[in-house]
Amino acid sequence: MSSNAHITGWGMAVPEKVLTNQELEMMVDTNDEWIRSRTGIEERRIASDDETTASLATEAAINALRVAKLPPSQVDLIIVATSTPEYLFPATACLVQDRIGATTAGAFDLLAACSGFIYALNMAAETIRGGSNKNALVIGSETLSRVVDWTDRGTCILFGDGAGAFVLQASDEPGGIRSSVMRSDGSGGDLLWIPGGGSAEPATNQTVDDSHHFIRMNGREVFRFATRVMARSSEEAIKKAGMEVEDIDLIIPHQANLRIIDAAARGLKLPMERFAVNVQKYGNTSTASIPIAAVEAIEEGRINPGDNLVLVGFGAGLTWGALVATWTGPFAELKPIRMRRYRRLARVRSFLLRWARRLGAIFFGRRGDSA
Ligand code: ACO
Protein backbone atom coordinates (compact mmCIF):
# COMPACT_ATOMS: atom_id res chain seq x y z
CA MET A 1 0.00 0.00 0.00
CA SER A 2 1.45 3.42 -0.91
CA SER A 3 1.84 6.08 1.80
CA ASN A 4 0.20 9.47 1.91
CA ALA A 5 2.31 12.64 2.23
CA HIS A 6 1.16 14.53 5.33
CA ILE A 7 2.07 18.11 6.26
CA THR A 8 3.38 17.71 9.82
CA GLY A 9 5.58 20.77 10.34
CA TRP A 10 5.68 24.42 9.32
CA GLY A 11 7.91 27.40 9.93
CA MET A 12 8.72 30.85 8.62
CA ALA A 13 11.48 33.44 8.87
CA VAL A 14 11.36 37.07 7.81
CA PRO A 15 13.94 39.84 8.16
CA GLU A 16 13.40 42.36 10.94
CA LYS A 17 13.78 45.40 8.70
CA VAL A 18 10.42 46.77 7.56
CA LEU A 19 10.14 49.00 4.47
CA THR A 20 6.87 50.95 4.48
CA ASN A 21 5.06 52.56 1.57
CA GLN A 22 5.85 55.94 3.14
CA GLU A 23 9.56 55.14 3.01
CA LEU A 24 9.20 54.12 -0.65
CA GLU A 25 7.67 57.54 -1.36
CA MET A 26 11.11 58.97 -0.58
CA MET A 27 12.85 56.56 -2.98
CA VAL A 28 10.68 56.64 -6.14
CA ASP A 29 7.79 58.65 -7.58
CA THR A 30 4.96 56.78 -5.86
CA ASN A 31 2.57 57.16 -2.95
CA ASP A 32 0.99 55.07 -0.22
CA GLU A 33 -2.52 55.51 -1.62
CA TRP A 34 -1.53 54.24 -5.09
CA ILE A 35 0.31 51.19 -3.70
CA ARG A 36 -2.50 50.26 -1.29
CA SER A 37 -5.31 50.68 -3.81
CA ARG A 38 -3.53 48.87 -6.68
CA THR A 39 -1.87 46.07 -4.69
CA GLY A 40 -3.07 45.96 -1.06
CA ILE A 41 0.56 46.14 0.11
CA GLU A 42 1.39 48.34 3.13
CA GLU A 43 4.90 47.18 3.98
CA ARG A 44 7.48 44.51 3.16
CA ARG A 45 10.56 43.01 4.83
CA ILE A 46 14.07 43.61 3.53
CA ALA A 47 17.06 41.36 4.27
CA SER A 48 19.98 42.89 6.15
CA ASP A 49 23.52 42.52 4.80
CA ASP A 50 24.11 39.30 6.72
CA GLU A 51 20.78 37.71 5.74
CA THR A 52 20.60 35.66 2.56
CA THR A 53 18.25 33.19 0.87
CA ALA A 54 20.08 30.29 2.57
CA SER A 55 20.06 31.88 6.05
CA LEU A 56 16.31 32.62 5.88
CA ALA A 57 15.65 29.13 4.46
CA THR A 58 17.64 27.56 7.31
CA GLU A 59 15.67 29.47 9.98
CA ALA A 60 12.34 28.50 8.42
CA ALA A 61 13.48 24.86 8.10
CA ILE A 62 14.54 24.68 11.74
CA ASN A 63 11.19 26.09 12.87
CA ALA A 64 9.33 23.56 10.71
CA LEU A 65 11.39 20.60 12.02
CA ARG A 66 10.76 21.77 15.59
CA VAL A 67 6.99 21.72 14.99
CA ALA A 68 7.16 18.26 13.33
CA LYS A 69 9.50 17.05 16.13
CA LEU A 70 11.66 15.56 13.40
CA PRO A 71 15.45 15.37 13.90
CA PRO A 72 17.39 16.63 10.83
CA SER A 73 19.15 13.27 10.59
CA GLN A 74 15.80 11.72 9.57
CA VAL A 75 15.17 14.11 6.66
CA ASP A 76 15.50 12.22 3.33
CA LEU A 77 14.99 15.10 0.91
CA ILE A 78 15.34 18.89 0.93
CA ILE A 79 13.88 20.97 -1.89
CA VAL A 80 14.36 24.74 -1.88
CA ALA A 81 12.07 26.52 -4.30
CA THR A 82 13.64 29.90 -5.06
CA SER A 83 14.07 32.53 -7.75
CA THR A 84 16.95 34.18 -5.85
CA PRO A 85 19.32 31.31 -5.00
CA GLU A 86 22.43 31.91 -2.91
CA TYR A 87 24.56 30.99 -5.96
CA LEU A 88 23.92 29.59 -9.44
CA PHE A 89 25.50 26.51 -7.86
CA PRO A 90 25.82 24.88 -5.39
CA ALA A 91 22.09 24.60 -4.72
CA THR A 92 20.77 26.62 -1.77
CA ALA A 93 19.20 23.33 -0.59
CA CYS A 94 22.74 21.89 -0.10
CA LEU A 95 23.68 24.87 2.09
CA VAL A 96 20.57 24.24 4.20
CA GLN A 97 21.43 20.51 4.36
CA ASP A 98 24.85 21.37 5.79
CA ARG A 99 23.58 24.00 8.23
CA ILE A 100 20.91 21.80 9.78
CA GLY A 101 22.99 18.59 9.65
CA ALA A 102 20.62 16.54 7.50
CA THR A 103 23.30 13.93 6.99
CA THR A 104 21.32 11.50 4.82
CA ALA A 105 19.24 13.94 2.74
CA GLY A 106 19.32 14.56 -0.99
CA ALA A 107 19.04 18.27 -1.75
CA PHE A 108 18.21 20.35 -4.81
CA ASP A 109 16.73 23.70 -5.83
CA LEU A 110 13.61 24.09 -7.93
CA LEU A 111 13.00 27.09 -10.18
CA ALA A 112 9.38 27.72 -11.08
CA ALA A 113 9.28 31.33 -9.81
CA CYS A 114 6.30 32.08 -7.55
CA SER A 115 4.68 28.70 -8.35
CA GLY A 116 7.83 27.02 -7.01
CA PHE A 117 6.47 26.08 -3.58
CA ILE A 118 3.46 24.29 -5.14
CA TYR A 119 5.72 22.47 -7.63
CA ALA A 120 8.20 21.51 -4.86
CA LEU A 121 5.47 20.24 -2.50
CA ASN A 122 4.09 18.13 -5.31
CA MET A 123 7.53 16.69 -6.19
CA ALA A 124 8.29 15.86 -2.55
CA ALA A 125 4.84 14.30 -2.08
CA GLU A 126 5.38 12.11 -5.16
CA THR A 127 8.64 10.71 -3.76
CA ILE A 128 6.84 9.90 -0.49
CA ARG A 129 3.92 8.27 -2.28
CA GLY A 130 6.35 6.34 -4.49
CA GLY A 131 8.06 4.99 -1.38
CA SER A 132 11.57 6.35 -1.99
CA ASN A 133 11.39 8.89 0.88
CA LYS A 134 9.67 9.04 4.25
CA ASN A 135 10.44 12.60 5.38
CA ALA A 136 10.93 15.69 3.20
CA LEU A 137 11.60 19.33 3.89
CA VAL A 138 10.11 21.76 1.36
CA ILE A 139 11.23 25.38 1.60
CA GLY A 140 10.38 28.56 -0.29
CA SER A 141 12.97 31.28 0.32
CA GLU A 142 13.73 34.60 -1.34
CA THR A 143 15.83 37.74 -1.11
CA LEU A 144 14.09 39.55 -3.96
CA SER A 145 15.34 42.90 -2.64
CA ARG A 146 18.71 41.91 -4.17
CA VAL A 147 17.30 41.70 -7.72
CA VAL A 148 14.82 44.56 -7.60
CA ASP A 149 15.63 47.76 -9.48
CA TRP A 150 15.09 50.31 -6.70
CA THR A 151 14.63 53.05 -9.30
CA ASP A 152 11.73 51.25 -11.07
CA ARG A 153 8.45 52.19 -9.34
CA GLY A 154 6.57 49.60 -11.40
CA THR A 155 8.32 46.70 -9.65
CA CYS A 156 10.15 47.85 -6.50
CA ILE A 157 6.92 48.48 -4.57
CA LEU A 158 5.79 44.87 -5.01
CA PHE A 159 8.46 42.57 -3.65
CA GLY A 160 9.80 41.54 -0.23
CA ASP A 161 12.10 38.99 1.42
CA GLY A 162 11.30 35.95 3.55
CA ALA A 163 11.12 32.18 3.82
CA GLY A 164 8.61 29.48 4.73
CA ALA A 165 8.92 25.72 5.09
CA PHE A 166 6.76 22.60 5.41
CA VAL A 167 7.75 19.14 6.63
CA LEU A 168 6.11 16.30 4.70
CA GLN A 169 5.97 12.82 6.27
CA ALA A 170 4.77 9.43 5.11
CA SER A 171 1.82 7.75 6.80
CA ASP A 172 -0.75 5.18 5.72
CA GLU A 173 -3.47 7.29 7.38
CA PRO A 174 -5.74 9.10 4.89
CA GLY A 175 -5.03 12.80 4.25
CA GLY A 176 -2.08 14.95 3.30
CA ILE A 177 -1.51 16.14 -0.28
CA ARG A 178 -4.55 14.91 -2.21
CA SER A 179 -4.15 16.27 -5.73
CA SER A 180 -2.16 18.77 -7.72
CA VAL A 181 -2.04 20.68 -10.96
CA MET A 182 1.16 22.07 -12.51
CA ARG A 183 1.05 24.12 -15.71
CA SER A 184 3.34 26.35 -17.78
CA ASP A 185 3.40 28.62 -20.82
CA GLY A 186 6.93 29.57 -21.83
CA SER A 187 5.65 31.87 -24.58
CA GLY A 188 5.09 34.40 -21.76
CA GLY A 189 8.64 34.09 -20.44
CA ASP A 190 9.55 37.69 -21.24
CA LEU A 191 6.57 39.12 -19.33
CA LEU A 192 8.49 38.66 -16.07
CA TRP A 193 12.20 37.97 -16.14
CA ILE A 194 15.78 38.83 -15.29
CA PRO A 195 17.53 39.01 -18.66
CA GLY A 196 21.17 38.96 -17.49
CA GLY A 197 23.37 36.56 -15.56
CA GLY A 198 22.42 33.33 -17.32
CA SER A 199 23.97 31.61 -20.35
CA ALA A 200 22.12 33.88 -22.80
CA GLU A 201 23.57 37.05 -21.30
CA PRO A 202 26.48 36.32 -18.96
CA ALA A 203 27.43 39.21 -16.70
CA THR A 204 29.52 41.91 -18.39
CA ASN A 205 30.04 45.59 -17.65
CA GLN A 206 27.44 46.25 -20.35
CA THR A 207 24.76 43.99 -18.77
CA VAL A 208 25.34 45.76 -15.46
CA ASP A 209 25.16 49.21 -17.08
CA ASP A 210 21.93 48.20 -18.84
CA SER A 211 20.35 46.97 -15.55
CA HIS A 212 19.88 43.48 -17.01
CA HIS A 213 20.36 41.82 -13.63
CA PHE A 214 17.14 43.25 -12.22
CA ILE A 215 13.50 42.09 -12.45
CA ARG A 216 11.66 43.30 -15.54
CA MET A 217 7.92 42.94 -15.71
CA ASN A 218 4.94 43.72 -17.89
CA GLY A 219 2.64 44.20 -14.90
CA ARG A 220 -0.60 44.53 -16.83
CA GLU A 221 -0.09 41.29 -18.77
CA VAL A 222 1.01 39.36 -15.67
CA PHE A 223 -2.08 40.67 -13.88
CA ARG A 224 -4.35 39.50 -16.71
CA PHE A 225 -2.71 36.06 -16.79
CA ALA A 226 -2.91 35.67 -13.00
CA THR A 227 -6.60 36.50 -12.79
CA ARG A 228 -7.25 33.91 -15.55
CA VAL A 229 -5.42 30.97 -13.96
CA MET A 230 -5.95 31.25 -10.19
CA ALA A 231 -9.60 30.15 -10.04
CA ARG A 232 -9.27 27.73 -12.96
CA SER A 233 -6.32 25.77 -11.53
CA SER A 234 -7.91 25.71 -8.05
CA GLU A 235 -11.07 24.20 -9.54
CA GLU A 236 -9.02 21.62 -11.44
CA ALA A 237 -7.14 20.54 -8.29
CA ILE A 238 -10.40 20.37 -6.28
CA LYS A 239 -12.03 18.21 -8.97
CA LYS A 240 -8.97 15.92 -9.13
CA ALA A 241 -9.23 15.43 -5.35
CA GLY A 242 -12.85 14.32 -5.82
CA MET A 243 -14.14 17.35 -3.91
CA GLU A 244 -16.39 20.35 -4.47
CA VAL A 245 -15.45 24.00 -3.85
CA GLU A 246 -17.77 23.91 -0.80
CA ASP A 247 -15.57 21.19 0.77
CA ILE A 248 -12.62 23.60 0.98
CA ASP A 249 -12.13 25.30 4.36
CA LEU A 250 -9.36 27.73 3.40
CA ILE A 251 -7.58 28.84 0.24
CA ILE A 252 -3.97 29.94 0.59
CA PRO A 253 -3.11 31.87 -2.55
CA HIS A 254 0.24 33.28 -3.68
CA GLN A 255 0.37 36.76 -2.14
CA ALA A 256 1.15 39.03 -5.10
CA ASN A 257 -1.70 41.49 -5.22
CA LEU A 258 -4.96 41.78 -3.24
CA ARG A 259 -6.86 42.48 -6.47
CA ILE A 260 -5.64 39.18 -7.98
CA ILE A 261 -6.79 37.29 -4.86
CA ASP A 262 -10.11 39.14 -5.04
CA ALA A 263 -10.52 38.06 -8.68
CA ALA A 264 -9.82 34.44 -7.67
CA ALA A 265 -12.46 34.67 -4.94
CA ARG A 266 -15.01 35.97 -7.43
CA GLY A 267 -14.02 33.22 -9.92
CA LEU A 268 -14.57 30.55 -7.29
CA LYS A 269 -17.71 32.31 -5.97
CA LEU A 270 -16.24 32.29 -2.46
CA PRO A 271 -16.12 35.16 0.05
CA MET A 272 -12.71 36.69 0.82
CA GLU A 273 -13.01 35.29 4.39
CA ARG A 274 -12.22 31.87 2.94
CA PHE A 275 -8.80 33.15 1.77
CA ALA A 276 -5.61 33.58 3.80
CA VAL A 277 -4.31 37.08 3.04
CA ASN A 278 -1.21 38.77 4.45
CA VAL A 279 0.11 40.55 1.34
CA GLN A 280 -0.32 43.84 3.24
CA LYS A 281 2.51 42.87 5.64
CA TYR A 282 5.08 41.23 3.38
CA GLY A 283 4.35 42.16 -0.27
CA ASN A 284 5.19 39.49 -2.82
CA THR A 285 7.79 37.09 -1.38
CA SER A 286 7.51 34.75 -4.40
CA THR A 287 8.05 31.09 -3.37
CA ALA A 288 7.87 32.01 0.32
CA SER A 289 4.47 33.69 0.19
CA ILE A 290 2.26 30.58 0.42
CA PRO A 291 4.07 28.91 3.36
CA ILE A 292 4.33 32.26 5.22
CA ALA A 293 0.57 32.83 4.75
CA ALA A 294 -0.06 29.24 5.92
CA VAL A 295 2.06 29.67 9.07
CA GLU A 296 0.24 32.88 9.99
CA ALA A 297 -3.16 31.28 9.33
CA ILE A 298 -2.21 28.41 11.67
CA GLU A 299 -1.09 30.88 14.34
CA GLU A 300 -4.45 32.66 14.00
CA GLY A 301 -6.25 29.32 14.53
CA ARG A 302 -7.66 29.32 10.99
CA ILE A 303 -6.25 25.87 10.09
CA ASN A 304 -7.02 22.76 12.12
CA PRO A 305 -6.37 19.05 11.62
CA GLY A 306 -8.82 17.62 9.09
CA ASP A 307 -9.33 20.93 7.25
CA ASN A 308 -9.22 20.84 3.45
CA LEU A 309 -6.98 23.50 1.92
CA VAL A 310 -6.21 24.73 -1.56
CA LEU A 311 -2.74 26.18 -2.19
CA VAL A 312 -2.61 28.08 -5.46
CA GLY A 313 0.03 30.18 -7.18
CA PHE A 314 1.31 31.70 -10.41
CA GLY A 315 4.54 33.24 -11.52
CA ALA A 316 7.27 33.82 -14.06
CA GLY A 317 7.76 31.17 -16.69
CA LEU A 318 4.88 31.55 -17.04
CA THR A 319 3.99 28.90 -14.47
CA TRP A 320 0.95 28.23 -12.33
CA GLY A 321 -0.37 25.45 -10.16
CA ALA A 322 -2.64 24.42 -7.32
CA LEU A 323 -2.92 21.58 -4.87
CA VAL A 324 -5.44 20.25 -2.40
CA ALA A 325 -4.26 19.08 1.02
CA THR A 326 -6.03 17.79 4.09
CA TRP A 327 -4.27 19.26 7.10
CA THR A 328 -2.64 16.86 9.54
CA GLY A 329 -0.31 18.56 12.05
CA PRO A 330 2.55 16.88 13.91
CA PHE A 331 2.39 13.12 14.46
CA ALA A 332 1.20 12.77 18.05
CA GLU A 333 3.53 10.01 19.22
CA LEU A 334 6.75 12.02 18.74
CA LYS A 335 8.67 13.72 21.57
CA PRO A 336 9.77 17.39 21.35
CA ILE A 337 13.31 17.89 20.02
CA ARG A 338 15.95 20.51 20.87
CA MET A 339 16.78 22.08 17.53
CA ARG A 340 19.47 24.29 19.03
CA ARG A 341 21.50 21.20 19.92
CA TYR A 342 21.14 19.76 16.41
CA ARG A 343 22.22 23.06 14.97
CA ARG A 344 25.35 23.22 17.12
CA LEU A 345 26.23 19.65 16.14
CA ALA A 346 25.72 20.53 12.46
CA ARG A 347 28.14 23.45 12.81
CA VAL A 348 30.82 21.26 14.41
CA ARG A 349 30.29 18.52 11.81
CA SER A 350 30.58 21.00 8.92
CA PHE A 351 33.76 22.50 10.42
CA LEU A 352 35.37 19.07 10.87
CA LEU A 353 34.43 17.96 7.34
CA ARG A 354 35.96 21.12 5.84
CA TRP A 355 39.16 20.61 7.85
CA ALA A 356 39.34 16.91 7.01
CA ARG A 357 39.10 17.87 3.33
CA ARG A 358 41.86 20.48 3.72
CA LEU A 359 44.16 18.08 5.55
CA GLY A 360 43.38 15.37 3.00
CA ALA A 361 44.39 17.75 0.21
CA ILE A 362 47.68 18.57 2.01
CA PHE A 363 48.66 14.95 2.73
CA PHE A 364 47.07 13.05 -0.15
CA GLY A 365 46.40 15.86 -2.66
CA ARG A 366 48.88 14.75 -5.34
CA ARG A 367 47.89 11.09 -5.16
CA GLY A 368 44.18 11.94 -5.43
CA ASP A 369 44.77 14.41 -8.29
CA SER A 370 43.33 12.99 -11.50
CA ALA A 371 45.18 15.49 -13.77
N1 ACO B 1 3.26 54.52 -8.11
C2 ACO B 1 2.50 55.39 -8.78
N3 ACO B 1 2.15 55.21 -10.06
C4 ACO B 1 2.57 54.08 -10.68
C5 ACO B 1 3.38 53.14 -10.01
C6 ACO B 1 3.72 53.41 -8.68
N7 ACO B 1 4.47 52.55 -7.95
N8 ACO B 1 3.65 52.13 -10.87
C9 ACO B 1 3.05 52.43 -12.03
N10 ACO B 1 2.39 53.61 -11.91
C11 ACO B 1 1.61 54.31 -12.92
C12 ACO B 1 1.94 53.88 -14.32
O13 ACO B 1 3.06 54.56 -14.82
C14 ACO B 1 0.68 54.20 -15.04
O15 ACO B 1 0.67 55.57 -15.36
P16 ACO B 1 0.13 56.09 -16.79
O17 ACO B 1 -1.31 55.66 -16.81
O18 ACO B 1 0.33 57.55 -16.70
O19 ACO B 1 0.97 55.38 -17.80
C20 ACO B 1 -0.42 53.95 -14.02
O21 ACO B 1 0.24 53.97 -12.74
C22 ACO B 1 -1.14 52.66 -14.21
O23 ACO B 1 -0.16 51.63 -14.43
P24 ACO B 1 -0.59 50.14 -14.64
O25 ACO B 1 0.66 49.34 -14.86
O26 ACO B 1 -1.68 50.04 -15.62
O27 ACO B 1 -1.16 49.82 -13.19
P28 ACO B 1 -1.95 48.56 -12.75
O29 ACO B 1 -3.28 48.93 -12.24
O30 ACO B 1 -1.88 47.46 -13.77
O31 ACO B 1 -1.10 48.08 -11.50
C32 ACO B 1 0.59 46.46 -10.94
C33 ACO B 1 0.29 47.74 -11.68
C34 ACO B 1 0.31 46.68 -9.47
C35 ACO B 1 2.05 46.11 -11.14
C36 ACO B 1 -0.34 45.35 -11.48
O37 ACO B 1 -0.30 45.33 -12.88
C38 ACO B 1 0.03 43.99 -10.97
O39 ACO B 1 -0.10 43.69 -9.79
N40 ACO B 1 0.45 43.06 -11.87
C41 ACO B 1 0.83 41.72 -11.48
C42 ACO B 1 2.22 41.74 -10.96
C43 ACO B 1 2.60 40.48 -10.26
O44 ACO B 1 1.81 39.84 -9.62
N45 ACO B 1 3.88 40.11 -10.43
C46 ACO B 1 4.45 39.04 -9.72
C47 ACO B 1 4.20 37.72 -10.35
S48 ACO B 1 4.80 36.43 -9.39
C49 ACO B 1 6.45 36.13 -9.73
O50 ACO B 1 6.78 35.21 -10.45
C51 ACO B 1 7.52 36.97 -9.11
The residues assigned a catalytic role are 114, 254, 284
Q: What domain range includes position 159?
A: 4-326
Q: How many CB atoms lie within 10 A of CB 39?
A: 21
* Ligand 1 proximity of 219 Cβ (cutoff 6 Å): yes
The answer to whether the predicted template modeling score (pTM) of the entire model surpasses 0.75 is yes
Residue 272 lies in a domain: yes
Q: Is residue 256 part of a domain?
A: yes
Residue 71 is assigned to a structural domain of this protein:
yes
Query: Left, alpha or beta for 40 (phi > 0: left; psi -120 to 50: alpha)?
Result: left
Q: Contact at 8 Å (CB) between 179 and 247?
A: no
343 falls within a domain = no
Pocket-testing residue among 222, 261, 262, 318, ligand 1, by greatest number of atoms within 8 A of Cβ: 222
Domains in the chain: how many in total? Answer: 1
Peptide bond before residue 90 is cis, with ω within 30 degrees of 0: yes
Tell me, yes or no, whether 194 lies in a domain: yes
251: amino acid identity, one letter: I
**Ligand 1 atom closest to Cα of 155?**
35
Q: Does residue 356 lie within any of the structural domains?
A: no
Give SS3 for 253: strand
Give CA–CA dist 52/85, Å, rounded: 9
Q: How far apart are CA 235 and CA 226, in angstroms?
A: 14
Closest to 347 in 3D by CA, of 70, 60, 62: 62
CATH number of the CATH domain containing 158: 3.40.47.10
Ligand 1 atom, smallest distance to 153 CA: 7
Domain-located, residue 346: no
Query: Per-residue pLDDT for the chain (371 aa), expressed as one digit of tens each?
Result: 579 999 999 999 999 999 999 999 999 999 999 999 999 999 999 999 999 999 999 999 999 999 999 999 999 999 999 999 999 999 999 999 999 999 999 999 999 999 999 999 999 999 999 999 999 999 999 999 999 999 999 999 999 999 999 999 999 999 999 999 999 999 999 999 999 999 999 999 999 999 999 999 999 999 999 999 999 999 999 999 999 999 999 999 999 999 999 999 999 999 999 999 999 999 999 999 999 999 999 999 999 999 999 999 999 999 999 999 999 999 977 788 899 999 999 999 999 999 999 999 888 876 545 44
